[in-house]
Amino acid sequence: MRIFYDKGVRVQDGGKDVVLDPTRRLPDSVVSHGHLDHLSLGALMTVETMDIMRVRLGREEGLGVRYGEEVEVNGLTVSLFDAGHVFGSAMIRVEDVLYTGDFNPHGGPTCGTCEPRDCRYLILESTYGKPSLSFPPKEDVLSDLLNWLEVSLESGPVVLGAYEFGKAQELMAVANKLDYPVLVDDRIADLADVYNRHGHHLKYSRYREALEEKSGPYVLILPTRKLRRPGSPELREALENGGKSAFASGWCSIYDLSKSHLLDAQFPLSDHADFWDLLWFVDECNPKVVYTCHGYAQELARKITSRLRKRAEPLAKGWF
């Protein structure tokens, strides 16, 4: 078995190989989830990610499968398991290799959770792969956010900024716990429509169609770029009516984005494993070899070797 990076994560067994999360459309490829740095046409993916693809890329090309279903790709047995990262996200198993893609053992209100799995080779995402990158417990962050929303909505609208796919819908699920209208821009609504077609119950209105909903306090969820000052017309209208604004991202645990973006609050809400989750996950999967990729790959590999006494190295690039 050879595992390396060449236009994607390549798993090669004899003359057979598959490419995971290819950088562009490639034959015999598998996509882990619908974030644009992972998504490409023509691959195997979950049926949920196929539907997200139709909204994000305007086309639906590939093969959608259910979690746990075994499929043969170029002679190798492939199956997908919930990665707990976003709606439809999957870890990819190819024979005895497990590729986590972006993953989160804690899951979230709009996706499942990610269970460790026995494997011989583990390819591990390293986005938050150093000890200083750790998050408070997710349930604490969600409860802080809910409390802040409840208090802030007593005096006017609240605008939340987040990545348009995944985080935005997670915020919608949190805001839906309160008895206020939840308004979103069209892009976020198009993606949320897919969630609801798959059994979620997100309640929201499109901002441009909302009139009555804006007569009192409301929660408005916008893509991050619309919070950068001077801000979008939707943000300005909310602020002129005494509104508050906040941002939710894992990077808020490190950077104070509230100052640079002139926000009232920020919440370290992450859809990734933090450093301690990564170590725990490796220990539970108990692989013979760990290949780290994305983010702090070198640093994480060193820590896995020193703390878990396990062979770990950054994923090699190109042919060797």
Measured between alpha carbons, how far is residue 272 from residues 74, 151, 266, 269 in Å?
30, 28, 17, 9
CB-nearer residue toward Zn ion: 28 or 102:
102
Q: Is 191 helix (H, G, I), strand (E, B) or coil?
A: helix
Decide the pairing of beta strands 121-126 and 244-248.
unpaired
Query: Other C-beta atoms within 10 Å of 57: how many?
Result: 14
Least Å from the CB of residue 35 to Zn ion: 4
Least Å from the CB of residue 32 to Zn ion: 8
Measured between alpha carbons, how far is residue 52 from residues 106, 157, 188, 196, 198 in Å?
22, 29, 11, 12, 11
Q: How many helices (H) and strands (E) does the chain have?
A: 8, 19
Provide the binding-site residues for Zn ion, judged by CB under 5 A: 35, 102
Least Å from the CB of residue 37 to Zn ion: 7
CA atoms within 13 A on the CB side of 113: 7
CB-nearer residue toward Zn ion: 35 or 303:
35
CB-nearer residue toward Zn ion: 182 or 315:
315
- The DSSP symbol for 305 reads H
CB-nearer residue toward Zn ion: 45 or 158:
45
Least Å from the CB of residue 102 to Zn ion: 4
What is the Cα–Cα distance from 37 to 31, expressed in whole angstroms?
10
Least Å from the CB of residue 250 to Zn ion: 11
Least Å from the CB of residue 191 to Zn ion: 14
Least Å from the CB of residue 180 to Zn ion: 29
CB-nearer residue toward Zn ion: 234 or 271:
271
| Beta-carbon contacts of residue 170 (< 8 Å; ≥ 6 apart) | 108, 109, 110, 162, 269, 271
Question: Which tokens go with 78?
Answer: 């492939």
| Beta-carbon contacts of residue 66 (< 8 Å; ≥ 6 apart) | 46, 47
CB-nearer residue toward Zn ion: 107 or 217:
107
CB-nearer residue toward Zn ion: 44 or 238:
44
